[in-house]
Amino acid sequence: MSTSATIIVNTTTGALASTVNFDGYPSHTGKILKEHYITQEQAEELVRLGELSVLYERANPIGEHTWKNPEKGTTIAYHRDRGEPKRQPRIGDSALKLIDHFGNQHNYVFENGEWTYIKG
């Protein structure tokens, strides 16, 4: 069974959100976000991939990477890696409204250079 999470990045124009559908727990997704997505640019790049299957240390591959043959340490995105229609990130006025929209138990918000965990 998978555990989804919402990943939200506050920007100068609002909040940008997407979901990760596997292992959204703080011990996996939360840890990776805090250790590897530490700048505004990295956080936005991740969310702009659209809906994610699994989060890993890198948003983008450095070598060959597909759904069937994933590169170790590279995030798996449904659109890029599986060829599915892109599920665009959702844009909202605030992180809290996006958390309500997605309704996930685990939520991560990037703002002012830090990740905050909000239990749904």
Please determine, for residue 1, whether its predicted confidence score (pLDDT) is greater than 80. Answer: no
Mean pLDDT of 1-17: 92
Mean pLDDT of the chain: 95
| CA pair distance 53, 97, nearest whole angstrom | 23
Which residues make Cβ contacts (< 8 Å) with residue 44, sequence separation at least 6?
9, 11, 16
How crowded is residue 104: how many other Cβ atoms within 10 Å of its Cβ?
20
Task: Provide the pLDDT confidence category of residue 2 given band limits of 50, 70 and 90.
Answer: confident
> In a 3-state reduction of DSSP, which class is residue 2?
coil
For 110, other C-beta atoms within 10 Å of its C-beta total 27
Tell me, what's the pLDDT at 99?
Answer: 95
Which whole number is the average pLDDT over 7-35? 96
Number of CB atoms found within 10 A of residue 26's CB: 14
Percentage of residues of the chain with pLDDT beyond 70: 99
Q: What is the pTM of this model?
A: 0.94
What's the pLDDT score for residue 46? 98
- DSSP one-letter string for 40-76: HHHHHHHHTT-SEEE--SBSS-SS---SSSPPTTB-E
The Cα–Cα gap between 120 and 109 comes to 12
Query: For residue 28, what pLDDT is reported?
Result: 97
